[in-house]
């Protein structure tokens, strides 16, 4: 059996991704409980 480790994101890391252009306003995503989810349009 193989296990995959899930990496949870912190709020400051999420904001740094926005600052550095990794995530933009075109990316319809949100951070919930450490996971980044795609939002519906």
Nearest to 36 by CA among 5, 21, 3, 17: 17
Which residues is 38 bridged to in the sheet?
Answer: 29
Domain with 9, as residue range(s), is 1-41
* pLDDT tens-digit map of 25-39: 899 999 999 999 999
Q: Can you give the pLDDT at residue 14?
A: 97
- Does residue 1 surpass a pLDDT of 90? no
Cα–Cα distance, 2 to 38 (Å, whole number): 26
Which residues is 12 bridged to in the sheet?
Answer: none
* pLDDT tens-digit map of 3-27: 999 899 999 999 999 999 999 989 9
Nearest to 29 by CA among 38, 17, 20, 19: 38
- Does residue 41 surpass a pLDDT of 90? no
Nearest to 16 by CA among 33, 1, 2, 36: 36
Q: Can you give the pLDDT at residue 23?
A: 96
Number of domains in the chain: 1
């Amino acid at each position: 059996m193989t296990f995959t480790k899930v990496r949870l994101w912190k709020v400051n890391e999420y904001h740094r991704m926005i600052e550095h252009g990794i995530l933009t306003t075109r990316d319809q995503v949100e951070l919930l409980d450490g996971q980044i989810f795609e939002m519906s349009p």
